[in-house]
């Protein structure tokens, strides 16, 4: 498997705070990668760096071998990097279908074909029933699904999911897990930032643990959960900056 995305010594400073320090990771094509770590570890920062919302202080990001460090989010989306937002940002006055069409339009110039694609994506994400509903009227889990559907409609090669499973009931979380698996089967590489370990660990092929802005450990989930460094980071005594 080749590396779809690579970061090279990625460092970002916000004011005096070193949010990400010297992070060099790779995302392999076709995998589901978990990005985990305790609060304040810098997961969201790294996520936003890859998505293009933040610019790094130093370091590089390569996607399919191409340097995307300076590229804005809209261009990254065209290249095949899509993301969801942790705080859902649906287009409230538009219908569910129209929300997804916006995503599809990056690949289809005709609204008719974009709509067809949107219906396909709604089917995959289980929102077909709600196609005509106002996005504003959706339940929170449905809104989250819409976030994913919209991003999926851009036909990404890499999909970044920001805490899509957090705060769901066990039943909803299970459905979410199935959706992520379905997305991978469609050929999309997935990176998930997550908190809910019990749900995420069985799902991901590989996990990267961040702590205090640095990579603490990476590898198969079973190994990660037994890694003493990881256990200490989550549970043990730590010096706080």
Residue numbers of the site for another protein (CB under 8 A)? 51, 53, 72-74, 77-78, 82-83, 85, 89-95, 98, 101-103, 105-106, 109, 111-112, 114-115, 119, 134, 137, 150-151, 153-154
- In the complex, what is the shortest distance from the CB of residue 64 to another protein, in angstroms, rounded to a whole number? 17
Integer angstrom CA distances of residue 13 from 59, 68, 213: 12, 19, 10
Q: Which is nearer to another protein, 72 or 167 (CB)?
A: 72
**What is the Cα–Cα distance from 14 to 90, expressed in whole angstroms?**
28
- In the complex, what is the shortest distance from the CB of residue 21 to another protein, in angstroms, rounded to a whole number? 26
Element (DSSP H or E) covering residue 120: helix 111-125
- In the complex, what is the shortest distance from the CB of residue 71 to another protein, in angstroms, rounded to a whole number? 12
Element (DSSP H or E) covering residue 148: helix 140-152
Q: Which is nearer to another protein, 106 or 225 (CB)?
A: 106
**What is the Cα–Cα distance from 108 to 155, expressed in whole angstroms?**
10
Q: Which is nearer to another protein, 43 or 115 (CB)?
A: 115
**What is the Cα–Cα distance from 145 to 137, expressed in whole angstroms?**
13
Q: Which is nearer to another protein, 39 or 109 (CB)?
A: 109
**152, 125 in Cβ contact below 8 A?**
yes
- In the complex, what is the shortest distance from the CB of residue 95 to another protein, in angstroms, rounded to a whole number? 6
């Amino acid at each position: 498997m080749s590396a779809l995305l690579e970061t090279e010594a990625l460092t970002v400073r916000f004011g005096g705070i070193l949010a990400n320090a010297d992070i060099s990771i790779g995302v392999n094509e076709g995998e589901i990668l978990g990005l985990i770590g305790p609060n304040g570890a810098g997961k969201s920062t790294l996520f936003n760096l890859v998505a293009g919302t933040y610019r790094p202080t130093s370091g590089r990001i390569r996607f399919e071998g191409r340097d995307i460090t300076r590229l804005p989010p809209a261009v990254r989306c065209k290249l095949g990097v899509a993301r969801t937002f942790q705080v859902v940002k649906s287009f409230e006055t538009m219908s569910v279908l129209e929300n997804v069409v916006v995503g599809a339009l990056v690949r289809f110039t005709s609204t008719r074909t974009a709509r067809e694609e949107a219906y396909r994506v709604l089917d995959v994400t289980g929102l077909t029933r709600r196609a005509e509903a106002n996005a504003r009227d959706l339940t929170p889990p449905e809104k989250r699904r819409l976030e994913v559907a919209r991003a999926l409609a851009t036909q990404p090669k890499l999909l970044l999911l920001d805490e899509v499973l957090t705060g769901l009931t066990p039943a909803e979380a299970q459905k979410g897990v199935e959706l992520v698996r379905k997305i991978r089967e469609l050929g999309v590489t997935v990176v998930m930032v997550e908190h809910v370990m019990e749900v995420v660990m069985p799902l991901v092929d590989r996990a990267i643990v961040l702590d205090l802005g640095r990579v603490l450990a990476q590898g198969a989930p079973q190994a990660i959960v037994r890694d003493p460094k990881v256990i200490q980071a989550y549970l043990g005594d730590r010096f706080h900056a």
